[in-house]
Amino acid sequence: MADSEIFMTEMYDEGVVTEVIRPAAIVPEESARAVLVELALRDVQFGGLWLSDPSRWALYDSPWSAPGQPGEAQLVGTIQVAYGTPTRYEITIYRATITRRGTELGWTVTKLCDEALGFGNLDLATCPRASLAAPPKPFHF
* Tens-digit pLDDT string for the chain (141 aa): 555 555 555 555 566 889 999 999 999 999 999 999 999 999 999 999 999 999 999 999 999 999 999 999 999 999 999 999 888 899 999 999 999 999 999 999 999 999 999 999 999 999 999 987 777 888 776
Q: Nearest 5 degrees, angle CA 24-CA 25-CA 29? A: 130
Residue 49 DSSP one-character state: S
For 71-87, write each residue's pLDDT tens digit. Answer: 999 999 999 999 998 88
Determine the pLDDT at residue 33.
96
Helices (H), the chain: 3-12, 29-41, 100-104, 109-117
Write the CA distances from 137 to 78, 131, 133, 134, integer angstroms. Answer: 35, 18, 12, 9
Number of domains comprising the chain: 1
- β-pairing, 56-60 vs 75-83, is antiparallel
Determine the pLDDT at residue 76.
97
Identify whether 134 is part of a domain. Answer: no
Residue type, 133: A
| Domain extent for 27 | 3-120
Write the CA distances from 99 to 132, 136, 139, integer angstroms. Answer: 29, 36, 40
Determine the pLDDT at residue 13.
56
Q: Are 65 and 72 in contact (CB under 8 A)?
A: yes
Identify whether 93 is part of a domain. Answer: yes
Identify whether 127 is part of a domain. Answer: no
Identify whether 49 is part of a domain. Answer: yes
Identify whether 54 is part of a domain. Answer: yes
Identify whether 101 is part of a domain. Answer: yes
